[in-house]
Amino acid sequence: MTTCSIHAAEFRAAGTDLSERRRSGVSKGPLIDITAAPDTIGIHWGADGAARIGALTTISAIAADAGIGRAYPGLAAAAQGLATPQIRHLATLGGNLAQRSRCWYFRNPRIACLKKGGTECPARAGNHLYSVAFDLGPCVAPHPSTMAAALLAYEASVSTDRRSGMTIGELLGDGSNGTADHALAPGEMIRSVELPTPVPGERALYKRAISRSHAEWPLVEVCARAVVFGGAFQIIRIAAGGIAPVPLRLIASEAALQGVPANSADIANAARQATAAAKPLPMTAYKLDLLRGVVYDLLLQLTTA
Ligand SMILES: Cc1cc2nc3c(=O)[nH]c(=O)nc-3n(C[C@H](O)[C@H](O)[C@H](O)COP(=O)(O)OP(=O)(O)OC[C@H]3O[C@@H](n4cnc5c(N)ncnc54)[C@H](O)[C@@H]3O)c2cc1C
C-alpha cells in the first residue's frame, strides 16, 4: 500500500488529537490555531433552563459544572468518564466532536486507507477487533467521540461559523461516507453546542465497557435518558458509541420501552432489541453482548436510582 497524507489546513484547539497525527506525519500542511472568544467558551444558560456550551470549553469544565450535572447528568457523566484527567483538562468540546478516527490503520502513516485518499479499508481484511459491530459503510472504524454519543441522547444541536441547528446526525453523517469523520466543510468551525430544556423528572446515566480501567476509548458506551412516571417509561432516549461509524440512537430499544412498565423483564427485552440491526464483522460480535449488557445495566440503574 502507498502512503497518503492530508494537506488541507486543520484547526488546532488543544491539540490532544492533532499533535499525535502531526508527530506521526498523518496530518501535514498548514494549521489554524483557534482561541476562545466570549461566545465560544463557557456554559451559558437561557431563561428556559437550556444550556449553550462554547466549542472551546474544556471537557473538564463540562464535567465539573454543577449546573450541567443537575440539568444533563448523562452528559456530565460522559465528560467525567472519557480519556484521562490530563486530557480532559486540555481537550475542548469542539475538538472532541471533530477528532479523527482512532483506527490503527488510519493512524499509521505508512498505510493507506479511505480516510487518507486510499481505495479500501484495510481493517476489513485485517485486524478489526476494535471496529464496528454495525457495519454501515465502507470504513469499519467506530466514531471516537464520547461527547457526540451523549449529545445524541440529548438531541443537542451544533452551530458552526456557517450554520446553526445541525443535529449530531447532520454533523457526523450516517456512516456511509468512509472518507471523513464528520460532515464539516473545509475551514468550517464548530462554535457551540445547544442543549434542549431539561424535561421535568428526567434522569440520565452514562456507562461504558472498556478494555482497561481508564485512558482508553470504550469498546461500547451508552447514554440513556428517561422520564418514568406512574411506573412506566414516558420518555426514553438511548444513544450508543463505539459500535458504528457514527454514534447510534437505539431506536428499537426505545420503541420497546415507550409506555411500558419500568421492570426488569421489559428492560431485558429492550436490551435484546439493541442489537436487532447489528451487522458484526468476524472479530466484533463480542460487542453485541457488551451492548446488550450495558443497555440492561444502565436502564435498570436508571429506573432504580
Ligand atoms: C489516552 C486517551 C484516551 C482517550 N479516550 C477518549 C474517549 O474515551 N472518548 C473520547 O471522546 N475521546 C477520547 N480521547 C480523545 C480526546 O478526547 C480528544 O483528543 C480531544 O477531545 C480532542 O480535543 P482537542 O481540543 O485537543 O482537539 P484538537 O486535537 O485540537 O483537534 C482535533 C480535531 O478537531 C478539529 N477541531 C478542533 N476544534 C474544532 C472546532 N471548534 N471546529 C472544527 N474542528 C475542530 C481539529 O482540526 C482536529 O482535526 C482520548 C485521548 C487519549 C490520548
How is 22-79 classified by DSSP, letter by letter? HHHTSB-S-EEE----GGGSSEEE-TTS-EEEETT-BHHHHHH-HHHHHH-HHHHHHH
Q: Which of 18, 40, 171 to mutate to test the pocket of ligand 1 (most atoms within 8 A of CB)?
A: 18
Q: Is the model's pLDDT at 82 over the cut of 70?
A: yes
Residue 124, C-beta contacts closer than 8 angstroms, at least 6 positions apart: 140, 281
Give the SS3 label for residue 247: coil
Which pLDDT score is estimated for 6? 44
Query: 109 φ, ψ to 5°?
Result: -65, -15
Helix (H) or strand (E) holding 272: helix 264-273
pTM metric for this prediction: 0.96
Average pLDDT over all residues of the chain: 95
Across the range 92-103, mean pLDDT stands at: 98
Which pLDDT score is estimated for 212? 87
* Residue 37 exposed, middle or buried by CB count within 10 Å (0-12, 13-18, 19+): exposed
As a whole number of angstroms, the distance between CA 227 and CA 234 comes to 5
Which pLDDT score is estimated for 190? 98
Least confident of 128-142, 209-223, 274-288: 209-223
- CATH fit for domain 203-304, picks 3.40.50.150, 3.30.390.50, 3.40.50.300, 3.40.640.10: 3.30.390.50
Q: Is the model's pLDDT at 3 over the cut of 70?
A: no
Which pLDDT score is estimated for 1? 36
Which pLDDT score is estimated for 213? 79
Task: Report the separation in Å between the CA atom of 191 and the middle of ligand 1, taken as the mean of its atom positions.
Answer: 15
Across the range 84-111, mean pLDDT stands at: 98
Which pLDDT score is estimated for 200? 96
CA angle 199, 201, 204 (to 5 degrees): 80
Q: Is the model's pLDDT at 305 over the cut of 80?
A: no
Across the range 3-10, mean pLDDT stands at: 59
| Residue nearest atom 16 of ligand 1, based on CA coordinates | 96
Pocket of ligand 1 (CB under 6 A): 10-18, 34, 55, 82-84, 87, 90-92, 94-96, 98-100, 144-147, 184, 189-190, 215-218
Q: Is the model's pLDDT at 7 over the cut of 60?
A: no
Q: Quick one: cell of 169? A: 446526525
Among the atoms of ligand 1, which is closest to the Cα of residue 10? 47
